[in-house]
Amino acid sequence: MEATAFAKLIEQDLVKWRRNFHQIPETGLNLPLTRAYLKDELLSLGPRCRVVELKAGILVEIEPVDQVNAKRTPFLLRFDMDALPVQEETELDFSSRFQGYMHACGHDGHAAVGLGLAKILTANPGIQQGRVRIAFQAGEETLEGARLLVAEIDSWQGLQGPAPLTPAEPGREIALAMHLDPQLPRGVIAIKSGQLNARVDNLRVIFKGKPGHGAYPHLCADPVVAMASFVTAAQTIISRNLSPAQPAVLSFGKVAGGNVPNVIPEEIVLEGTLRSGGQDTASLVSSRLAQISAGIGQTYGVSVRTEIEEKCPAVLCDPDLAQWAKEILQTELPENIVSFDRILMGGDDFAFFSQVMPALMFRIGAGSEKKDIVYPLHSNRFNFDEKILVMAVAIFLNLITSNPENKEI
């Protein structure tokens, strides 16, 4: 039976799971209802589905039934399952039950796909080549979960507690992940070799001046005006210090300070994000921000302190895996495969897996059937065509049942 046929057998389950996940969106690392529902469904699959609860999620281990396949290259499949602090406005029959929270990034669909794979593999042991581990991960939206999950898994010796992974070597575990993408035509499978997602750095800039009455600004050192000049000057870094060919985005999204409109505050805190192609670009932007901070401070008579924290490295897709995946998927889905030729400025903490083992993340076009209305990821009206869930399961099945070169460890 081909992969798509296996996936179609559980289509109703996939839709049910996705809708149930969608109604209980939870954020960050604390997902009690999501975990409980997922664990109950996994335990119902029987003893072949070994379920282990971790701080950053739930890990499922499914071993092959014969010794030959047990020695072949193992797979680790990552599916994120956290939501966002967004008030849902979709008017779906299965909308979020929680005020101010929503699955606005498709992770409800991701989790359903992972659950579907667990069901198919446990029920059909003859199709499995190599060990398969399915990691249901919390905290992707905060870019925290994968770092913790990687630290909890010793990826080829079984669970050993909170120990870091050994650097990947040929023939060892392969990590695969997906992301639904409403900006791509429905059913398109976008595969990229090399860097897929941007490196993410968090920025925090503290402006400290001399407070006073808003009617007498000449007696103050105004951190608000200094902050405004800083934001304007910082935007020139990308346009005037980087080549147009270097991908980078610098955005500020949070300002805090002051209590009343007629008092110049002592302190303003500005927070933002830097998305870039890697270390060189991040270092250049960091250096220029420090220079601008010094100049702004001197000009306005305030102190300016800039703090930059690397939040998440770039997602790196192994070139050999990308080519292998294209060749495998073209046998069953030849018209759906496209090469992705740009770096996405969004971050994804699957990057932590790609640092320690051969990894591949692909994007699946999930645009709505209403082609004139496309709501992006993180929109309060985001939804996707559930028909895509069957295709997503089939993609993973095609890959994990076509072990690359049938390598043995």
Task: Tell me which amino acid residue 40 is.
Answer: D
CB 288 within 8 A of CB 241: yes
Structure tokens at 186: 């429905």
Nearest Cα neighbor of 214 from 254, 258, 255, 268 is 258
> How far is residue 82's CA from residue 406's CA, in Å, rounded to a whole number?
34
CB 117 within 8 A of CB 395: no
CB 367 within 8 A of CB 374: yes
Catalytic residue among 26, 80, 181, 348: 80
DSSP class per residue in 21-47: HHHS---TT--HHHHHHHHHHHHTT-T
Distances (CA, A) of 76 to 126, 134, 172, 187, 238: 19, 6, 10, 23, 37
Active site residue 141: yes
Task: Tell me which amino acid residue 192 is.
Answer: K
CB atoms within 10 A of CB 157: 9
> How far is residue 313's CA from residue 20's CA, in Å, rounded to a whole number?
32
Radius of gyration of the chain (CA): 24
Nearest Cα neighbor of 19 from 118, 98, 95 is 95
DSSP class per residue in 99-165: TT-B--SSHHHHHHHHHHHHHHHHH-GGG--S-EEEEEES-TTTT-HHHHHHHH--TTT---SS-PP
Catalytic residue among 141, 144, 181, 318: 141
CB atoms within 10 A of CB 164: 11
Active site residue 2: no
Active-site residue set = 80, 141
